[in-house]
Structure 1
């Protein structure tokens, strides 16, 4: 199977589902309905995000209806009995479609009754909420629906039974619950749904158009041309290609499936163990969600919550993302040299000049996207214009030209890729709505700061443990939402800036993709590598250690200062610290190191990492001397 078809096969990347979805092509007329609905939603999103005029409530209700309709058909009630349960799923699909459109047609009637719900309203709203929770179970497992049920129960009756104090809540009537969760902008159709139906969906559409134009092949070929001749070339190709691809798709699993189908076999062929090959692709793909200009869905949520412009966030996220990838590259290089692996054969490495000559036009939409974002245009406007730029630039060369069929296919692919993410974000609206309604978030933040004794570092450790725990049952976006609601305010209470607090949570949430036993990106990589899933996840976790180490610098240094001089010292010292950790773990630099030599690298790495100009200087200088000494010593021994 080629790269693009593998990427098209991945239609639940962000939702974190391990369920094999139904293929619309095998569903006959029903599959045709799914495709029509997908194209309709794409056109509808392009319309209301450009020159269309529609209320946010109606916009999100229609988005919910279509996503729910497609979701029930694609996600079977039982993966073992998908054919037998198809009729049930079709009935549920039309039920969720009707329940969403009900708001569009009857909102004015409800307002005319002064927001008093009648039995019909309560029944329709209840059906919609129940179906959405069930759909989230199919798409993301049990954790998300159980959280939604738990928080709903707290608002309805559990709060009354809590001991008097911060967690006590008198409860609300069921009709009030349905009204707040379904007929207003406070719950399912709140600002998270708006983020999903605008920013997230448009950038997923952009990624689908970009990949459909053939740009994925260009990115991988360029990575081969640039790094294929170096030691351990295929692994470095995987790191570079996944970084570039991830900056477009914003999906770790999509990167694994898309680039890993090419790079993992190459890594295995030159001698990397299957677990390490899968781990490299996992770590590299996870970094894609932190790499501008698009990043993951969490970045859009962060922009909405913090009210910090999205362009500011991606500008400040660039240096840390580069640091992460440099750390992974060094780890790969050390393992390749340690294992005495060779570069790719010259016959497999394309010329940079030839690759650029054939695919330079793929860079046009990326340049357009970055220019529009930097120039102050809204992300939605930038995404729409960039989609147009993809189509127009594809006409430059005959073999990449997108016609009506390719454009329709891109819309279908983009919508299918959005289904899992859309379901997840919509059901997250219930959790966020309950927390807002009950004030539970503030109470939890106060308790968390108390548990950690008002220590920023202890709070960081608590957050890291919470992220690792949540990552065992939640996909990345859900993990970020939960942590951002419950823990980010605790950081702010201790004086941490709002961006730093949310960026720490955002990075730690990414560990969900490499945390056993539910490390979806690692499991996808193990399937391609033919390796055991848990050892692959462990290798990926070791390579992705920057996810845990770099956020510490957000709290104590100017690493989030953006692209200016203030970021130089923390970036350089942080890199040397990261390199020291890497050498300590691998036990090799120029030669195999004994425990004393490894500890030297670790000690100077810790000094370089500690947020003080004096320790930074000592640590960096010590690391430079160690790197130089052991490199020359190893070279002399080989000679």
Structure 2
């Protein structure tokens, strides 16, 4: 049965995840597992019940990140595997990290009381600490360290850059003071996000996985759409959206769920490039999909100083349209290629799935309910983790054993490492932006190119900046980088703050599927055996509605529920209906299929329909509905085909 194969693949994948990076002997491996558990307990306690200063929480969080990065991530590709103990180099780097962090914790009060005055030892510690962060970033974050190095160099060489992007230059002491001893650099908001929201929600995602929630999502998706044309691809979309929403990393989601979904799509008849693109697009959208939004929504709420519930509600329509467009693109491709779904005997019964596994979704409902009741996301996450274990005991066959709980803690802690290191290194970027006023200067450059009232052109330039800055970076880290530079530009031209932040979030996330640095597509292509560039280009086409929607809510915030006061519920329903129709029209035009395969005239009409129906306004809505109706009539009665034959 399909559901059985999904379960078996999921179990195999869990084994792979557990073995990844664990290349030590038994004693060392057990010690690392014990440290990961201690880290999880530390994070849960001090982000909820325990009392600790913000700088100390961030410092100890950074210490754990450095420790596990040097233990689990090899220095080079040629590093000897299967060691009994860590190498001398790694032990030396760990020792330096412990010294620098403990030095910071001990002497930070003295530096703070003195107004930031540093002695020679303080400066040496800061320099060594920054070098250690770059080494950890090189191992865990890839090219992000290069971007951070460029920003760090800008502190010195900005004095030689003419025009608005230049500055007077900064001393080494000033740079070290800000980047290491200040709260705007390494120990700034980036690592603050990692130490709170990211860690707990990655851990929550791991608990959901080991409770069987991912299997429930797979089976329920199979029951709903498994028999429809292209059923495996639709299952991939739904499952990847659900898991990507929780784990917050498109790349990690492709690497895990993609090993299950991509082979199934290929077996059904989808090309390897198309299968990889579907998985990449589905995993990427989870980062801005309510109710969890990959933990990014909580960060956005902090920046905007509003409740998370407001952010979540505002993101509903854009996220819905994104996945609606992807589902219909998959459906039209299946109809065009005459691809069938799973046979009936391989499809589980929906009611049976809900009866046997539906209780596993209780933690998600508890999380949402607690946040709607006004509890903090951190408190809600911890309660939901406990609820995950308790709800698994409602049925004997889903109970989480002690071993499974330990595996969930270990995998959740390991999953937070690479994202956490990214958040540490982006502190360098944010510190540079703050210290040199780079964000304001870039905003000035953009505003000098466009008219202050030209929202669309400003949005386009901001989109390019967001995509570039977000390339190869996990969603949360990408958003933190982009909002520091791009959001002030949008607000300056009159964009509502919620719209500006969501605009930057969407494009920072979509950089994962935007060539040439489309990391999600590269991972998906590696699994599918497809071409990286072709997979990336197909992903852009499949996720095109995601690239279009932000421009429409820039000029028409009504697309974001709750942003514009006074809009009635029926008005939101009408906006959602017409925008959905426009999204279907776009998918049909791009895939060249609606009721049947489209000819040139019908494709053009469908593509014209999309912007008319996405733009909120009765006149444009009725024009779009009329065009959509014309296409349906043309296809129903073969009118346009007859016209083309005569011509």
Q: TM-score, normalised by structure 2?
A: 0.91
Mapped contact 1:476–1:512 kept (Cα < 8 A): no
Q: Deviations over 1:420-445 (max 9, x none)?
A: 11011111112112222222211211
2:446 equivalent in structure 1: 448
Out of 201, 226, 229, the residue aligned to residue 228 of structure 1 is 226
Mapped contact 1:556–1:611 kept (Cα < 8 A): no
Mapped contact 1:471–1:518 kept (Cα < 8 A): no
1:148 equivalent in structure 2: 148
Q: How does 1:261-300 map to 2 (within 5 A)?
A: 261-300=259-298
Q: Deviations over 1:568-614 (max 9, x none)?
A: 34322322222222222212223332212211212222322344321
1:193 equivalent in structure 2: 191
Q: Secondary structure at the match of 2:118?
A: coil
Q: Deviations over 1:209-244 (max 9, x none)?
A: 111112111110110011111111111111112222
Out of 237, 240, 250, the residue aligned to residue 238 of structure 2 is 240
Q: Deviations over 1:466-485 (max 9, x none)?
A: 34444555454444333222
Distance 1:78-1:388 versus aligned 2 partners, 3 A rule: same
Structure 1 unaligned runs (5+)? 12-20
Partners in 2 of 1:469 and 1:109 — Cα distance?
40
Q: How does 1:431-446 map to 2 (within 5 A)?
A: 431-446=429-444
Give the C-alpha shift of residue 628 in structure 1: 5.3
Structure 2 unaligned runs (5+)? 1-7, 563-567, 643-647
Q: Deviations over 1:126-169 (max 9, x none)?
A: 11111112211222223x223323333333x3233344x64443
1:3 equivalent in structure 2: 10
Distance 1:396-1:244 versus aligned 2 partners, 3 A rule: same
Q: Does 1:576 align with 2:571?
A: no
Distance 1:217-1:259 versus aligned 2 partners, 3 A rule: same
Q: Which moved more, 1:558-567 or 1:108-117?
A: 108-117
Q: Which moved more, 1:106-115 or 1:330-339?
A: 106-115
Mapped contact 2:298–2:377 kept (Cα < 8 A): no
Partners in 1 of 2:110 and 2:12 — Cα distance?
47
What is the aligned residue count? 624
Partners in 2 of 1:552 and 1:586 — Cα distance?
22
Out of 367, 370, 389, the residue aligned to residue 368 of structure 2 is 370
Give the C-alpha shift of residue 179 in structure 1: 2.5
Out of 584, 599, 606, the residue aligned to residue 601 of structure 1 is 606
Distance 1:102-1:632 versus aligned 2 partners, 3 A rule: farther
Q: Which moved more, 1:98-107 or 1:84-93?
A: 84-93
Mapped contact 2:433–2:485 kept (Cα < 8 A): no
Give the C-alpha shift of residue 115 in structure 1: 4.0
Distance 1:243-1:475 versus aligned 2 partners, 3 A rule: closer
Partners in 2 of 1:28 and 1:125 — Cα distance?
36
Q: Which moved more, 1:467-476 or 1:490-499?
A: 467-476
Partners in 2 of 1:631 and 1:71 — Cα distance?
60
1:547 equivalent in structure 2: 546
Mapped contact 2:309–2:372 kept (Cα < 8 A): yes
Mapped contact 2:288–2:296 kept (Cα < 8 A): no
Give the C-alpha shift of residue 380 in structure 1: 0.4
2:508 equivalent in structure 1: 509
Mapped contact 2:596–2:635 kept (Cα < 8 A): yes
Q: How does 1:491-510 map to 2 (within 5 A)?
A: 491-510=490-509
RMSD between aligned residues: 2.5
Partners in 2 of 1:632 and 1:368 — Cα distance?
51
Partners in 1 of 2:451 and 2:80 — Cα distance?
51
Q: Secondary structure at the match of 2:287?
A: coil
2:3 equivalent in structure 1: none
Partners in 2 of 1:555 and 1:108 — Cα distance?
44
Q: How does 1:141-540 map to 2 (within 5 A)?
A: 141-142=142-143, 144-155=144-155, 157-163=156-162, 166-454=164-452, 455-470=454-469, 472-540=471-539
Give the C-alpha shift of residue 105 in structure 1: 2.7
Partners in 1 of 2:54 and 2:475 — Cα distance?
26
